[in-house]
Amino acid sequence: MSRFNTSQSIGDIVAGLPKAADVFKKFNIDFCCGGHRLLGEAISEQKLDAGLVLNELDKAYEEAQRLKDQADYREMPSVDLMDYIINTHHAFLNRNLPVISELVNTILRVHGSNHRELFQVHKLFHSLKTELEQHLIKEEELLFPMVREYEQKPSNELLEEVRRVARETEDEHESAGGILKELRKAAGNYEIPADVCGTFRKTYEMLQELESDLFQHIHLENNILFKRLGIMIQ
């Protein structure tokens, strides 16, 4: 189901989503002088595939939303950004790591003899889980409180200490990213084999969700939070 429909006017769509202009250009739909027309009229006049046009508009919307979110994070004060990271991404891990652990155990038991790659998946996931559990505690109990303190009362000494811990944290991100890569490889790119059950599918879906959530989480910490604090990490 698209968030757009053919009874919207072309001009209104571009006014709400400037990126829609690129989509209309691509399909040769006039959005300037012909902006008062309904999208459906242009589609039928030009014998276009409505599903295809709506799908492209949805993609443009999602891309614009993603860029807007990034801009919002950049404007967020550090203290709010850290709260956001804890409430969103740390909460995601605290909620999902134990669930995925159970699932990985289950599919190893049920399918491990036919799918030997699951032994490696099990091992990699649990080393990632252990690393992340400690990493979250380090951020919540050590790094983020130091950053909060630095924001209130900056000093060179404290900045040095923040940088030292942030560098360690960044190394841990690097390590987690490496395990995620190995995990994806061990799991055959998360393609679901034909002979498995729903639990197997669910496990691979959750591992992929974990991967994308963790990428966004690390991006916010490395590229926005640390960078803003002038913590140049090598």
Which residues of the shown chain bind Fe ion in the complex (CB under 5 A)?
139, 221
User: For residues 225 and 158, is the Cβ–Cβ distance under 8 A?
Assistant: no
Structure tokens at 98: 């134990």
**Of 37 and 138, which CB lies nearer to Fe ion in the complex structure?**
138
**Of 89 and 115, which CB lies nearer to Fe ion in the complex structure?**
89
**Of 56 and 221, which CB lies nearer to Fe ion in the complex structure?**
221
**Of 56 and 139, which CB lies nearer to Fe ion in the complex structure?**
139
Alpha-carbon span 18 to 198, nearest angstrom:
42
Q: Report the nearest approach of Fe ion to the CB of residue 158 (Å).
A: 20
Q: Report the nearest approach of Fe ion to the CB of residue 43 (Å).
A: 45
Q: In sequence order, which ranges of the chain are alpha helices (DSSP H)?
A: 10-16, 20-26, 39-45, 50-75, 78-85, 91-111, 117-138, 144-152, 156-186, 198-219, 227-228
Taking residue 169's Cβ as centre, other Cβ atoms within 10 Å add up to 22
Q: Report the nearest approach of Fe ion to the CB of residue 173 (Å).
A: 6
Alpha-carbon span 213 to 89, nearest angstrom:
7
Q: Report the nearest approach of Fe ion to the CB of residue 83 (Å).
A: 12
